[in-house]
Amino acid sequence: MARINWYKYASPTNFYPFAEKMIPWFAFPAAVLFIVGLYVGFFVAPSDFQQGDAYRIIFIHVPAAWMGMLLYVLMAIYAAIGWAFNARLSSMMASAISITGAMFTFLSLVTGSLWGKPTWGTWWVWDARLTSTLILLFLYIGFISLQASIDDPRRADRAGAVLAIVGVINVPIIYFSVQWWNTLHQGATIRLLGKPTMAPPMLAAMLIMLAACWLYSIAVVLVRLRYIIIEREQNAARAAEVSV
């Protein structure tokens, strides 16, 4: 059996064509799953007996909130690997993830606000879950701004890695906030151990939308990573030419 040399793909130059091949494998299934998830969410899942149809915001709100947290953890891991092992591709991956993670965190806040108004009677409250999610958005913005403000990519990666690693402490705080503090936000609907408290069609729609968001994120991050590789490699080549 032919063995794949995975180390080969740690090089941006080798990963670039590989990423190009992988993008359609994530983008098209993402589009299909979005359509299926929305169909199940709007036409198969019944209305909630308490919240009526307002609960249907859950099909985008919960996947967006999960993606915001998971992408942050992933970004911090890549940033840490890039910093510890001087792996350029890992640092580039962290940069590529940051914008999509920020987008999902912002989306979770906006959709949460749109859900909060009809159910809680307010657009926003300074409760633990909402405030810690807002801090997550600020961490993403801080990471993106910090990287953009430093010209030398290596220094920018190191500075970003420190912020990403320190900020990762906020993720368990977001997750457990509904247990640690009295909040308006409802508790976890799905737990790793234990039965979900949702009807099966509702749960199915939410999980399909989550899978769609994952595939979308991978496709978009790979496209952005390719652009970052081009920009950085070309800038490095240009800098080498100038110094010669």
Partner 1 sequence: MGGYAFYVWGSYLVTLLLMGGEVLLLLRRGKLLRYQRPGIQTPRE
Interaction between residue 227 and partner 1 (CB under 8 A): yes
| Integer angstrom CA distances of residue 166 from 97, 190, 210 | 17, 27, 27
Quick one: which of 44, 85, 118, 169 contacts partner 1 (CB under 8 A)? 118
Amino acid letter, 218: I
The minimum distance between CB 76 and partner 1, in angstroms, equals 21
Candidates 54-62, 66-74, 162-170, 197-205; binding stretch for partner 1 (CB under 8 A) = 54-62
| Integer angstrom CA distances of residue 226 from 87, 177, 186 | 16, 37, 40
The nearer residue to partner 1, 123 or 180, going by C-beta atoms, is 123
Interaction between residue 200 and partner 1 (CB under 8 A): no
Interaction between residue 110 and partner 1 (CB under 8 A): yes
Q: What is the Cα–Cα distance from 162 to 18, expressed in whole angstroms?
A: 29
Residue-wise over 113-125: b if at least 16 C-beta within 10 A, else e? eebbeeeeeeeee
How many residues are given for the chain? 244
Interaction between residue 141 and partner 1 (CB under 8 A): no
The nearer residue to partner 1, 80 or 208, going by C-beta atoms, is 208
Interaction between residue 24 and partner 1 (CB under 8 A): no
Is 225 in contact with 75 (CB distance < 8 Å)? no
Binding residues (CB under 8 A) for partner 1: these are: 12-13, 16-17, 38, 47, 52-54, 56-57, 60-61, 64, 99-100, 103, 106-107, 110-111, 114-115, 117-118, 216, 220, 223-224, 227, 229-231, 233-234
